[in-house]
Amino acid sequence: MVTAKARAVNGPDQNFRETEVTRRELDTTDVLIEIKFAGICHSDIHTAHGEWGEVNYPLIPGHEIAGIVSDIGENVTKYKVGDRVGVGCMVDSCGECENCREGEEQYCLKGNIPTYAGTDKYGEPTQGGYSTHIVVTEEFVLSIPDSIGLDEAAPLLCAGITTFSPLNHWNAGPGKKVAVVGMGGLGHMAVKIAHAMGAEVTVLSRTLNKKEDGLQFGAKSYFATSDEDTFTELAGTFDLIINTVSAKIDLNAYLSLLALNGSLVNVGAPAEPLEVNAFSLIPHRRSFAGSLIGGIRETQDMLNFCAEHNIAPNIEIISADDIDHAYKRVLDSDVKYRFVIDISTM
């Protein structure tokens, strides 16, 4: 067993504090990872604050994990000590259901086991990556290509795959017009990936504040949604819209921007229900859909794609003592575009 240093919250209104977590003895297919960097995802904040249902505190968040293999179980074949690896939003699934067998473990019919705030197959609570070590079964460990720095790799494990998967599934590519709603951690990755896939990308953001960045990330155009003319000018334009915003938006206004057969896909998860008028969908055979991270095979494809196309998130590295401050800044939209914790400061 390894006793890892970690940062945890003890309740919805608490600050992070230093703690320790015991990682399980290596099972035959387990990999022990020495974590080097962990990204801060908006989901960490929702969960830490108890906004997504009851949480068993203390909670150690973090599901954008990059590090080095430091030990392996006796039957591990995919990894060896010293390998550069990552772990994303899930650490296990049943492995037997139809969806798991298809490589869509995130949609496991028995529920995937999330990296934190879940219960593993040993009946123990899962604790995430704001920690010096983690033990994960090799099937849920990703290989990080050499050309991607471990600090930049971390946010790919959630923000990267969450946007890559719907772009891939709905065939973003040459000849397709893709709009990205919101230019935060998820949105900036969606722009870079969709552009690299060959699609024509438009950013729809509340203001034009980040226009220069958006165009630099590969967007062809950038519109402010606070300007009502945007919705008349772009009516019927897009084949695919990826909505990364976690707040309530006027869905019908965005659906009106879809072309024939277009799809609006939600990856942002607002707490309140969204209203859809059937007549926003029917006249142009439009679809409204959702998408959850991606399977393990697809996550590896995403990492390889990012390496091949030189794509990395824009990050700001912080120390472990700055997590509370970083949370405040994420809530104030004051981050370009992802905070990553340097675990050596733990």
Residues making contact with Zn ion (CB under 5 A)? 41, 43, 93-94, 97, 100, 108, 158
238 versus 339: smaller Cβ distance to Zn ion:
339
63 versus 286: smaller Cβ distance to Zn ion:
63
Cα–Cα distance for residue pair 174/223, rounded to 1 Å: 21
CB 42 → Zn ion: shortest distance, Å?
Answer: 7
CB 6 → Zn ion: shortest distance, Å?
Answer: 18
93 versus 243: smaller Cβ distance to Zn ion:
93
CB 276 → Zn ion: shortest distance, Å?
Answer: 25
100 versus 318: smaller Cβ distance to Zn ion:
100
Do 161 and 304 contact (CB within 8 A), yes or no?
Answer: no
97 versus 224: smaller Cβ distance to Zn ion:
97
CB-hemisphere CA count at 13 Å for 25? 2
84 backbone dihedrals φ, ψ, rounded to 5°: -90, 120
For CA atoms 161, 58, 127, 7, the dihedral sign is: positive
On the 0-12 / 13-18 / 19+ scale of CB atoms within 10 A, 32 is buried
320 backbone dihedrals φ, ψ, rounded to 5°: -60, -25
CB 3 → Zn ion: shortest distance, Å?
Answer: 26
CB 227 → Zn ion: shortest distance, Å?
Answer: 30
The letter for the amino acid at 320 is: A
42 versus 192: smaller Cβ distance to Zn ion:
42
CB 218 → Zn ion: shortest distance, Å?
Answer: 22
On the 0-12 / 13-18 / 19+ scale of CB atoms within 10 A, 91 is buried
